[in-house]
Structure 1
């Protein structure tokens, strides 16, 4: 696999898996109740070298489904890696953190070039296992989900 493709895949991995506000002082039950619903999230991707969007549905039965769209231009070319990623997991809020475990990913390339590397990206996602996020609430309908340097700004999706 060519180096620029590896860099692009690594950038997609970092942005999709890594999450101004107040520290959460609520008990776990009230946080879980507030978290249940549909959320539209985006990254704080300052360099804007790639676009992404996350639509997560947290259910009362502690399952979560997230649909991710990630696109990244390949450096020094006009080509674009673009993927739709569907993630299924189990979630739990504990001691100020949101845990998403037993994650399964379905990855679909959105163009011919991306489809060539679906398996490589899928193999990388299999290594993830579980994710641990810190939650910070702006208000009932807006929270920040952070992990390392990555922050996802999540806004409640209203039909």
Structure 2
């Protein structure tokens, strides 16, 4: 097989988003792979509503009746991986507690097998609580965010 042809193909795909080229001739079969960086996948998170009770010190019975139970939408991890609040080290986080988010807005990234999976909000609302620290491992189904629907 002509080496010049192989090198010419390599040069042609360099810098493109072509990941793999495969061809066959009478002389043999050639497969050329190019690393184009980590792939990003958008993964929707499972939905659940949870009641979050405010924890406080013991209070009088009159005050305890006023204690509110809020209902929040829960964003859970759709896969096992490492939780990241920002797109890169040193970058500002996607969201902070108290931020208003829209459906489809990226909340965090979970890295699994060198693939950066963007986790998006599936409702409009306000981020009430971020339950995981940056860089921490997460399990499938682990609660990540509480969002108050708006």
For the criterion TM > 0.5, the same-fold answer is no
Q: More helix per residue: 1 or 2? A: 1
Please report the TM-score for the alignment, with normalisation by the length of structure 1: 0.24
Please give the TM-score of this superposition, normalised by the length of structure 2: 0.25
